[in-house]
């Protein structure tokens, strides 16, 4: 069985990706710096060397020209007097050395005959090794031609220049890596500092999953991207917390609502079983049945809300609201519920859901009405408006929004026996919203008017 290669050797790319962001940023920055520094250093050395050669050649050429001028004027003496250390050899037409500077070789020319002949008279310098002539280091040599076939050879030592150039290169070779290390350490520290808020964010998030208290991430002071990220995440946490709280409240409310019919059923059955003799069983059964109705209505309402919460796309089919209102209102007492002013209006939606909206509103109206409940349907250019009006006690302005919440019943209704669980209006609002409409409660003085607006189906 062949052993797998160590993870690090499988793929350099995978290895690189597994490294921390801090490491990768520092390494990338250092590599880029190293390249830039290397390029800058070699450019500097190149330019410096060229410049030094050019200036040495310039001086040498000037001296050679001076000597050529003297020779042409016939004012050349031996030894040739040149003050700045330039070495001069003057050769006659036959190649013999006739004049030199003090201490210069009189026998061997610095440039041999062949090379002299090949030298164009433009004063361009060349390197010559000085050691055969007892001169230390390389020389820059310029060859010029004078009258009567004479040749002037001028040379300057390049030793000092090349030594200082070498020193510069040495310093750069040692200094540049040191600078690189320094910059690398600095970027490691700076990047670490920059990433610190992210680490704090991560720690904060880890604590949140661990504990239930204060579920907020630390927000850095700097107004930067991390600040924005932290604020956005905190907003999200707040929304999740709110959703969580309302979910919890819903569960406790639902449990609370379940308790009373269950207690009532239990009590009735206990009493009946405790005194079986002389017990009116049909009466007991009726009481229990009523409570089970309440239970099943509650379960129905919760299921409907759960389905609406999931926002599953409602069935979309053309629904004739006039027909729907006629059919729904027909189930109520004709003397109490009056349908008036029905205009033609068709909306896109789920007939069952919209029917439930009407039933919930009519149930409420009938339950609270004095003597009349009116249902109307109007159609404007782009929406259908259904109103259900009763002449009951109405709802105080301050409570008209609150009653749409789940399990919200007003005290006046709570005292009545026939009141439901308080899910009716919540279901109405969710359903109407799912159909792209809105529902509001208004004062009908006396009584209450529920106004449902639904967008008309596009023809
Ligand atoms: N037409 C109305 N007149 C006066 N008060 C109303 C009317 N409709 C609703 N309310 C008040 O608003 C509350 C909430 O109504 P909602 O329909 O949501 O619940 P419910 O009727 O009590 O119970 P459910 O509809 O689940 O059987 C009612 O308890 C009642 O106090
Ligand atoms: Mg109701």
pTM of this structure: 0.63
399 and 436 co-located in one domain = yes
The CATH number that applies at residue 255 is: 1.10.287.130
pLDDT of residue 211: 52
* Atom number in ligand 1 closest to CA 298: 26
266 and 404 co-located in one domain = no
Q: How many domains does the chain have?
A: 3
254 and 295 co-located in one domain = yes
Q: Tell whether 84 is covered by a domain.
A: yes
Write out the chain's pLDDT in tens, 459 residues. Answer: 445 555 556 788 999 999 999 999 999 999 999 999 999 999 999 999 999 999 999 999 999 999 999 999 988 888 888 878 899 999 998 989 999 998 888 888 988 888 887 777 677 888 888 888 888 889 999 999 888 889 999 999 999 888 999 999 999 999 999 999 999 999 999 999 988 888 889 888 888 865 555 678 889 888 888 899 999 999 999 998 888 888 898 899 999 889 989 999 999 999 999 988 877 889 999 999 999 999 999 999 999 998 888 876 667 899 999 999 999 999 999 999 999 888 889 999 999 999 999 999 999 999 999 999 999 999 999 999 999 999 999 999 999 999 999 998 887 655 555 667 899 999 999 999 999 999 999 999 889 999 999 999 987
Strands 138-145 and 151-157: antiparallel
Q: Could you tell me how far CA 57 lies from the centroid of its own chain?
A: 61
pLDDT of residue 1: 45
157 and 94 co-located in one domain = yes
Would you say the CB of residue 197 lies under 6 angstroms from ligand 1?
no
Q: Which of 422, 440, 450 to mutate to test the pocket of ligand 1 (most atoms within 8 A of CB)?
A: 422
Residue 252: CA count within 13 A, CB half-sphere: 5
Distance 383 CA to ligand 1 centre (A): 26
Distance 358 CA to ligand 1 centre (A): 13
List the alpha helices (DSSP H) in 134-224: 159-210
Domain span at residue 82 reads 14-208
Q: Tell whether 215 is covered by a domain.
A: no
126 and 32 co-located in one domain = yes
pLDDT digits (tens, 9 = 90+) for 221-246: 888 888 999 999 999 999 988 888 88
Q: What is the DSSP letter of 398?
A: G
Strands 373-379 and 346-349: unpaired
Task: Give the DSSP H or E segment for 452.
Answer: strand 448-455
Query: Which ligand places an atom closest to the C-alpha of 425?
Result: 1
Of 165, 184, 185, the closest CA to residue 173 belongs to 165
Q: Of 159, 183, 208, which closes a domain? A: 208
Would you say the CB of residue 304 lies under 6 angstroms from ligand 1?
no
Q: Tell whether 242 is covered by a domain.
A: yes
295 and 441 co-located in one domain = no
pLDDT digits (tens, 9 = 90+) for 96-112: 999 999 888 888 898 88
């Amino acid at each position: 069985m062949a052993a797998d290669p160590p993870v690090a050797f499988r793929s350099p790319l995978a290895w690189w990706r597994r490294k921390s962001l801090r490491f990768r940023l520092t390494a990338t920055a250092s590599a880029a710096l190293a390249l830039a520094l290397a390029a800058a250093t070699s450019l500097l050395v190149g330019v410096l060397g060229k410049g030094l050669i050019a200036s040495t050649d310039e001086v040498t050429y000037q001296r050679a020209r001076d000597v050529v001028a003297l020779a042409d004027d016939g004012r050349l003496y031996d030894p040739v007097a040149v003050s700045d250390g330039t070495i001069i050899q003057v050769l006659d037409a036959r190649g013999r050395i006739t004049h030199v500077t003090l201490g210069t070789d009189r026998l061997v020319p610095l440039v041999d005959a062949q090379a002299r002949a090949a030298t164009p008279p433009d004063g361009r310098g060349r390197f010559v090794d000085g050691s055969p002539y007892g001169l230390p280091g390389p020389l820059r040599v310029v060859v010029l031609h004078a009258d009567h076939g004479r040749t002037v050879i001028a040379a300057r030592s390049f030793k000092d220049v090349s030594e200082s150039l070498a020193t510069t290169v040495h310093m750069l070779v040692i200094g540049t890596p040191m600078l690189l290390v320094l910059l690398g350490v600095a970027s490691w520290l700076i990047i670490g500092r920059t990433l610190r808020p992210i680490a704090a964010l991560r720690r904060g998030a880890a604590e949140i999953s661990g504990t239930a208290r204060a579920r907020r991430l630390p927000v850095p002071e700097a107004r930067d991207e991390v600040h924005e990220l932290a604020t956005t995440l905190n907003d999200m946490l707040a929304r999740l917390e709110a959703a969580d709280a309302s979910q919890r409240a819903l569960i406790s409310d639902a449990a609370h609502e379940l308790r009373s019919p269950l207690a009532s059923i239990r009590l009735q059955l206990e009493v009946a079983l405790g005194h079986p003799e002389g017990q009116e069983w049909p009466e007991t059964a009726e009481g229990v049945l009523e409570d089970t109705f309440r239970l099943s209505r509650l379960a129905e309402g919760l299921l409907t809300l759960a389905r609406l919460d999931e926002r599953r796309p409602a069935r979309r089919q053309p629904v004739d609201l006039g027909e729907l209102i006629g059919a729904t209102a027909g189930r109520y007492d004709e003397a109490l519920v009056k349908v008036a002013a029905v205009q033609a209006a068709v909306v896109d939606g789920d007939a069952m859901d919209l029917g439930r909206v009407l039933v919930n509103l009519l149930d409420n109206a009938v339950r609270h009405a004095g003597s009349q409940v009116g249902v109307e349907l109007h159609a404007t250019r782009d929406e259908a408006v259904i109103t259900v009006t009763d002449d009951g006690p109405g709802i105080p302005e301050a409570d008209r929004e609150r009653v749409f919440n789940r399990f919200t019943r007003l005290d006046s209704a709570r005292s009545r026996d026939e009141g439901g669980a308080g899910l009716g209006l919540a279901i109405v609002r969710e359903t109407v919203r799912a159909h792209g409409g809105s529902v509001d409660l208004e004062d009908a003085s006396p009584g209450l008017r529920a106004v449902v607006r639904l967008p008309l189906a596009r023809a």
